[in-house]
């Protein structure tokens, strides 16, 4: 799938749309999700045109892959989430219901998040 530069996170990265920013460095931008599903729900996006986790893992330069995942850790640490715990999630493609075609990691925290994902037969 080709990267669509009009997606909402690309527009946030370019400063065309506002976000509630919590972190930024050379590799990543992090901001609060507009429809939080936990007391803390932050999105971390790389500074680069990658559709998904698959695209990012296959195509991003090593420095960006490392910088991005260090940024995810920095966000969680700076928000004070490490002691109580947090969950990272990257929806990829149709079965995972990825809505925005710019790779992003969700960070959920602030309450007991339960175990893993919904059971298959729920």
CB of 31 to ligand 5GP, least distance (A): 5
- Annotated catalytic residue within 41, 97, 102, 104: 104
- CB atoms inside a 10 Å sphere around CB 45: 22
- Cβ proximity of 28 and 44 under 8 Å: yes
Separation of first and last alpha carbons in the chain: 31
- Chain-centroid distance, C-alpha 41: 10
CB of 45 to ligand 5GP, least distance (A): 10
Residue 7 makes contact with ligand 5GP by CB under 6 A: no
- Cβ proximity of 105 and 121 under 8 Å: no
Query: Whole-angstrom Cα distance, residue 68 to residue 25?
Result: 9
Residues 21-80 close enough to bind ligand 5GP by CB under 6 A = 31, 33-35, 43
Query: Whole-angstrom Cα distance, residue 10 to residue 72?
Result: 18
CB of 89 to ligand 5GP, least distance (A): 7
Residues 89-118 close enough to bind ligand 5GP by CB under 6 A = 91, 97-100
Q: Is position 104 annotated as part of the catalytic site?
A: yes
List of residues contacting ligand 5GP (CB under 6 A): 8, 19, 31, 33-35, 43, 91, 97-100
Catalytic residues, by residue number, are 104
């Amino acid at each position: 799938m080709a990267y669509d530069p009009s997606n909402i996170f690309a527009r946030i990265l370019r400063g065309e749309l506002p976000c509630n920013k919590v972190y930024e460095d050379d590799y990543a931008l992090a901001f609060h999700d507009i429809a939080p599903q936990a007391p803390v729900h932050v999105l971390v996006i790389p500074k680069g045109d990658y559709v998904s986790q698959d695209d990012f893992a296959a195509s991003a330069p090593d420095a960006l892959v490392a910088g991005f995942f260090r940024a995810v850790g920095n966000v969680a640490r700076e928000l004070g989430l490490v002691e109580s715990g947090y969950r990272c999630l990257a929806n990829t493609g149709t079965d995972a219901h990825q809505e925005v075609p710019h790779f992003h990691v969700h960070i959920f925290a602030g309450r007991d998040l339960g175990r893993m994902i919904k059971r298959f037969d729920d």
